[in-house]
Amino acid sequence: MDTMMQYAWLVPLFPLIAFAIILSFGRQLKEGAAYISILFTGASLLLSLLTFWERFKDGAQDYVFSMTWLKVGDYVIPAGFEINQLNAMMLVIVTTVSLLVQIYSRGYMHGDSRFPVFYQYLALFTFAMLGLVISPNLLQVYIFWELVGACSFLLVGYYFFKPQAKAAAKKAFIVTRIGDVGLFIAICLLFWQTGSFAFEDIFTAVENGKVEPAIITLSAILIFVGAAGKSGQFPLHTWLPDAMEGPTPVSALIHAATMVAAGVYLVAASFPLFIASPEALNVVAYVGGFTAIFAATIGITQRDIKRVLAYSTVSQLGFMMMALGVAGAAGYVAGTFHLMTHAFFKALLFLAAGSVIHAVHTQDVFQMGGLSKRMPITSFVFLIGCLAIAGVPPFSGFWSKEEILAAIFSQGRFDLLIIAMLAAFCTAFYMFRLYYLTFKGEATTEATKKAHESPSTMTLPMLILAVLAIIAGFINLPNNPILGNWLMSGTVGQYIMERYTEEAGHGGVWLQVTAVVISLLGIGLAYLMYGKKSVSSDIISEQVPWLYRLSYRKYYIDEIYDVVFVRSFRGLGHLLSLFDRYVVGGIGFLVGWTARAIGGVNSRLQTGQLQMFGLVVLMGLVILVVSLTTLGGVPYGQ
């Protein structure tokens, strides 16, 4: 069978080649490195589109390729790739955003002294992310999972000389690693239950009841722990806002559109395992729901444009998790659908924010203002992004968010529905707060007054993303869910359909209307406070200062972690250090002292030491020979 899908392995390979070229010739290429990386990523995008189209058009079987990577006894540990509905879609998302971000970065990073290194990392990240997406088994997922984490680490710490960047990079790596260990344990547990790492085998084993129910729940929750680490879910969310220390294109690519969505992707990719355990699904749903509202309430008070977007990302990822957690076919589709629309509009918002930062050299929104006149394109696309994320029809975010609400509603989860609506209100509010503070009103600083629009290498990718942020929702309209039907036609879709026989119900028009009203309320309040300024924006901070501080200081989570984990661990370290020096080392000293006392040598380096040592050896040999000649030959076998 000749199919485009059998060449899908080339999709991640192209960026890897780009990486290798830039690694070898970065110094000679200088800023030309960008073109190498863009060229190869462009090839990946093309191939992804072809692959996607073939998968979409034919609704063909999943394509799985597998070869032996390693043999351990009778176990064969394979390496390969798989193309199914979900990851064919992911390939397109990742390559599209990556390509656009790389084009954008050509302008944004212009003049940076480590320009080729930046592209080298970007290319490596793109390779790893694509590799993750097409992995057919959990071990391979884990390998690329760690690699994207490492690339994220490198890029967050790209400005290595900045202490904040250093701290943020370290934090990103360690906090996500906590989650990774969960995934690691889950993989090991599942392996001993099913004898395989492959998704397919694990699903079959679960389906056939070969896996103990307790292990299903435990491993599903552990996989979710890994997903929570990557996708910034509470309580492992703290690294993501700090990761904004990386260059802004990185925030757009890694910390908005692709890598942070990997957690959501992983839950979706191993969905048959999750739906076998209602407990695990509940954990996903409630952690997601809590994260959605929790991060949204932080987002409303932050002053740093990128941090607002970061908390927004955390919150939106919570939305996706919540959708997957309530499950049913509707939840699955809504979660992955929102993953796609979010990738486009959030990447757009970050790139636009980068364009602003590039122009005014600050990230504090209170030092901006009035930029819509000076940066019309940026302002325009940012508005589109805001409308999309706030859920205003017909922008893409409206369709996917409405889908999530409908999924929650159809499963009768009214507690989560209220949470989701509250979070949606906050989202609309803080996004338009951001919009009005940045682009409307009067310029507050000199830099803002002198700001001018970014070059076309930066505006073009933004415009393309803006188009996507508008139209991406049309692929899954309530009365014509093309994406949903297509996703359900796949292998994972079949598992879901089997378990959830009821028709994925929609909440009806009233739910859509409610969703829109909530968004408009949020936007309206932001307008009154920051646009028209008829309502004092300080009303909360003056009336209930502790509440404001709680939100502004991010519920003091970082401080709590610092005391509970970091300091106590360091304390333990120092304590053990004393133990090691005085107790364990003391024994050593005692041994040494005894040896010296017996041997009668001092601590200077002398042959005496060695003589004594030789004596021991010699004595041993004597014992050996004596024992042989006297004891040896005692009647055996008696």
CB 230 within 8 A of CB 176: yes
Residue 490 is encoded by which pair of tokens?
């796949």
* C-alpha distances in Å from residue 239, one per residue of 21, 85, 157, 336: 31, 31, 13, 23
**Could you tell me which residues are beta bridge partners of residue 63?**
83
CB 305 within 8 A of CB 293: no
The stretch among 458-466, 524-532, 536-544, 629-637 that binds another protein (CB under 8 A) is 629-637
Residue 72 belongs to what H/E stretch?
A: strand 63-72
Rule CB under 8 A: choose which of 60, 214, 560, 628 binds another protein.
628
Give, as ranges, the residues between 556 and 595 that touch another protein (CB under 8 A). 569-570, 572-574, 576-577, 580, 584-585, 587-588, 591-592, 595
User: 224 or 294, CB closer to another protein?
Assistant: 224
Rule CB under 8 A: choose which of 46, 143, 460, 525 binds another protein.
143
CB 452 within 8 A of CB 374: yes
Residue 120 is encoded by which pair of tokens?
């080298």
User: 46 or 150, CB closer to another protein?
Assistant: 150
Question: What is the C-alpha to C-alpha distance for residues 267 and 10, in angstroms, rounded to an integer?
Answer: 25
Give, as ranges, the residues between 164 and 183 that touch another protein (CB under 8 A). 165-166, 169-170, 173-174, 177-178, 180-181
Give, as ranges, the residues between 409 and 468 that touch another protein (CB under 8 A). none
Q: Does 28 bind another protein (CB under 8 A)?
A: no
Q: Does 617 bind another protein (CB under 8 A)?
A: yes
Rule CB under 8 A: choose which of 208, 501, 510, 604 binds another protein.
604
Rule CB under 8 A: choose which of 28, 67, 192, 546 binds another protein.
192
Rule CB under 8 A: choose which of 109, 144, 287, 417 binds another protein.
144
Smallest distance from another protein to CB 15, Å: 15
Rule CB under 8 A: choose which of 1, 509, 597, 631 binds another protein.
631
CB 396 within 8 A of CB 476: no
Residue 38 is encoded by which pair of tokens?
């863009």
If one counts every other C-beta atom within 10 angstroms of the C-beta of residue 234, the result is 19
Rule CB under 8 A: choose which of 185, 521, 540, 550 binds another protein.
185
User: 452 or 604, CB closer to another protein?
Assistant: 604
Smallest distance from another protein to CB 123, Å: 15
Give, as ranges, the residues between 43 and 82 that touch another protein (CB under 8 A). 69-73
Question: HEC profile for 259-319?
Answer: HHHHHHHHHHHCHHHHCCCHHHHHHHHHHHHHHHHHHHHHHCCCCEHHHHHHHHHHHHHHH
Q: Does 508 bind another protein (CB under 8 A)?
A: no
Smallest distance from another protein to CB 577, Å: 5
If one counts every other C-beta atom within 10 angstroms of the C-beta of residue 122, the result is 32
| C-alpha dihedral (80, 85, 87, 90), degrees to nearest 10 | 160
The phi-psi region of residue 345 (left if phi > 0; otherwise alpha if psi is between -120 and 50; otherwise beta) is alpha
User: 60 or 622, CB closer to another protein?
Assistant: 622
Smallest distance from another protein to CB 100, Å: 27
Burial classification of residue 31, based on how many CB atoms lie within 10 Å of its CB (0-12 exposed, 13-18 middle, 19 or more buried): middle
User: 544 or 621, CB closer to another protein?
Assistant: 621
Number of residues forming the site for another protein (CB under 8 A): 71
Judged by DSSP in three states, 70 sits in: strand
The stretch among 94-102, 189-197, 205-213, 455-463 that binds another protein (CB under 8 A) is 189-197
Q: Which of 314, 352, 197, 390 is nearest to 555 (CA)?
A: 314
The stretch among 84-92, 243-251, 460-468, 607-615 that binds another protein (CB under 8 A) is 607-615
Rule CB under 8 A: choose which of 163, 209, 278, 376 binds another protein.
163
Give, as ranges, the residues between 220 and 279 that touch another protein (CB under 8 A). none
The residue behind tokens 């409908």 is: 406
CB 343 within 8 A of CB 97: yes
Rule CB under 8 A: choose which of 142, 203, 391, 492 binds another protein.
142
The phi-psi region of residue 159 (left if phi > 0; otherwise alpha if psi is between -120 and 50; otherwise beta) is beta
Smallest distance from another protein to CB 620, Å: 4
Window 340-379: contact mask with another protein (x via CB under 8 A) = ----------------------------------------
Q: What are phi and psi of 533, to 5 degrees?
A: 60, 35
The stretch among 187-195, 236-244, 263-271, 496-504 that binds another protein (CB under 8 A) is 187-195
The stretch among 86-94, 160-168, 420-428, 532-540 that binds another protein (CB under 8 A) is 160-168
| Interacting residues of 77 by C-beta distance below 8 A, sequence separation 6+ | 68, 69, 70, 71, 139, 197
User: 153 or 294, CB closer to another protein?
Assistant: 153
